[in-house]
Amino acid sequence: MTLRFDVIWKEAPQFAVGLGNTIWLCAVSMILSLMLAALLLVPLTSRRRNLRRMAQAVVDAGRCIPFLLLTYIVYFGLPATGVVLNKWSAALATLVLYNTAYMAEILRAGWASLPPGQTEAARAFGYHGLLLTRRIILPQLVIAVGPVIGNQLIQLIKDSAFLSIITLPELTFAANAVQSYYFIPFESFLVATLLYWALCGGIEALVRRGERWASRMRRAYA
């Protein structure tokens, strides 16, 4: 058996475009879902119990639906209700929706684990409302859950492979296109796997470095 990596090399531009699309889709949906999750944190930590329960139900519903099914619903199901999205909007919407649910749950758990003393000190020093959240609570949340957010990003990158099902030209789609044209499934999928490993490995290294830094910062909690 001869391995045809020369063909892969010839098709490198297609892999590069696929990898690029995977990266920007995941980066943009990560940022958007973090912002949405921060907004969801308000009802999730509200003092009003009904509001809190409603928000929690929405988050749980989002977390308990398979990603592939959500993709089907957004791309194939929604047109029946009159909402027609092209594959790019559908992909982004699915990634953001799915990921927001996880991010909101991560932020809520982090918020619940924060020691109350720092927030109380901030109140005693005249903080309240948005300024309190922005200057004191959110930065501590990053220290508390930063590594978990990194892990979730890795999960998101792997989930994005399902988007090939709606012919979105991301990395898995590119690998599939190359293998079916030249009949070289092993080479093509191996290269895609190596690229996913490199991408996720880089994030993993950052996560580890971040975790070391965060665990040092957490020592300040007496």
Partner 1 sequence: MPESLAGPASPLRTCAADCPAAVELRGVGKRFGDHEALARIDLRVMPGETVCILGPSGSGKSTLLRCINWLEPPDCGAVFLHGERIGLRSGAKPGTPMNDRELAAVRTRIGMVFQHFNLWPHMTALGNVIESPIHVQRRPRAEVIAEADHVLEKVGLAHKRNVYPAFLSGGEMQRVAIARALAMRPELLLFDEPTSALDPELVGEVLSVMQDLAHDGMTMIVVTHEMHFARDAANRVVFLDKGRIIEQATAEEFFERPATERSRQFLERYSR
114 vs 190, beta carbon nearer partner 1: 114
Contact yes or no for 209/146 (Cβ under 8 A): no
CB of 147 to partner 1, least distance (A): 15
CB of 114 to partner 1, least distance (A): 10
Which candidate, 124, 147, 149, 119, places its Cα nearest to that of 135? 119
- 43 contacts: CB under 8 Å, gap ≥ 6: 51, 52, 54, 55
1 is a site residue for partner 1 (CB under 8 A): no
Of 86-94, 137-145, 182-190, 200-208, the segment contacting partner 1 by CB under 8 A is 137-145
142 is a site residue for partner 1 (CB under 8 A): yes
How many angstroms separate the Cα of 175 from the Cα of each of 57, 72, 157, 171? 38, 21, 15, 6
In the chain, the amino acid numbered 115 is P
> According to CB under 8 A, which one of 66, 79, 117, 202 is a site residue for partner 1?
117
49 vs 219, beta carbon nearer partner 1: 219
Q: How far apart are CA 142 and CA 134, in angstroms?
A: 11
Q: Which residues bind partner 1 (CB under 8 A)?
A: 117-118, 120-129, 131, 135-136, 139-140, 142-143, 216-222
